[in-house]
């Protein structure tokens, strides 16, 4: 029997499209540094739904077009994105992720706490590496994500 951690950290993105792979790169860098299950969802929003089931907290890592300076990291909840209180013009894979999070909630499979970390991409052109802007800030991204993973769980 597989025992699931209460917390799952999900990396989202395509590592063949430059900064779109930042969620996957962060996930790889978190290996062994957090007490959470790590899931590479690639570009499959349905994989995200499956990874959420049975969890109390989920932390999702993705690039996001937010109209901010390249490399900016923002923490927000799905509700902040959906009602526009967090960031204008936010794009998390054109909204598909939010639709799948809503589906997980409707199915009773969503965790009580969902946190999204979005990073403003500098380039989404075909490339098998992140832009130098994002690479230079990886340590800061990891510090923020690890702090979130270690924070006490806030039950609703």
Q: Is-above-0.85 flag for pTM?
A: yes
Q: What is the pLDDT of residue 91?
A: 47
Phi, psi of 135 (to 5 degrees): -60, -40
pLDDT tens-place string over residues 5-35 = 999 999 999 999 999 999 999 999 999 999 9
* Residue 11 bridge partners (DSSP): 40, 61
In this model, does residue 57 exceed pLDDT 50?
Answer: yes
Residue 155: predicted pLDDT: 58
* Domain regions of the chain by residue span: 7-150
List the CATH code of the domain at 7-150. Answer: 3.40.50.1450
Instruction: With beta carbons less than 8 A apart as the criterion, state whether 27 and 85 touch.
Output: no
Give per-residue pLDDT as tens, 126-151: 999 999 999 999 999 999 999 999 99
Q: What is the per-residue pLDDT for 100?
A: 79
**What is the arithmetic mean of pLDDT over 46-65?**
91
Rounded CA-CA distance 71/68 in Å is 8
Confidence of residue 94 (pLDDT cuts 50, 70, 90): very low
What's the mean pLDDT when you consider all of the chain? 87
Alpha helices in the chain (DSSP H): 22-30, 45-52, 78-82, 96-106, 132-136, 138-150
**C-beta neighbour count of 83 within 10 angstroms:** 9
């Amino acid at each position: 029997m597989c025992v699931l951690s209460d917390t799952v950290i999900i990396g989202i993105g395509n590592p063949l499209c430059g900064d779109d792979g930042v969620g996957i790169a962060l996930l790889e860098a978190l290996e062994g540094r957090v007490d959470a299950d790590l899931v590479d969802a690639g570009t499959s929003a349905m994989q995200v739904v499956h990874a959420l089931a049975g969890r109390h907290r989920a932390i999702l890592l993705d690039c996001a077009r937010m109209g901010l300076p390249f490399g900016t990291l923002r923490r927000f909840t799905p509700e902040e994105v959906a009602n526009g209180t967090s960031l204008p013009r936010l794009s998390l894979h054109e909204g598909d992720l939010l639709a799948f999070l809503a589906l997980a909630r409707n199915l009773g499979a969503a965790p009580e706490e969902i946190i999204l970390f979005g990073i403003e991409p500098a380039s989404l052109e075909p490339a098998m590496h992140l832009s130098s802007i994002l690479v230079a800030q990886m340590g800061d991204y990891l510090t923020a994500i690890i702090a979130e993973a270690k924070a006490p769980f806030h039950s609703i």
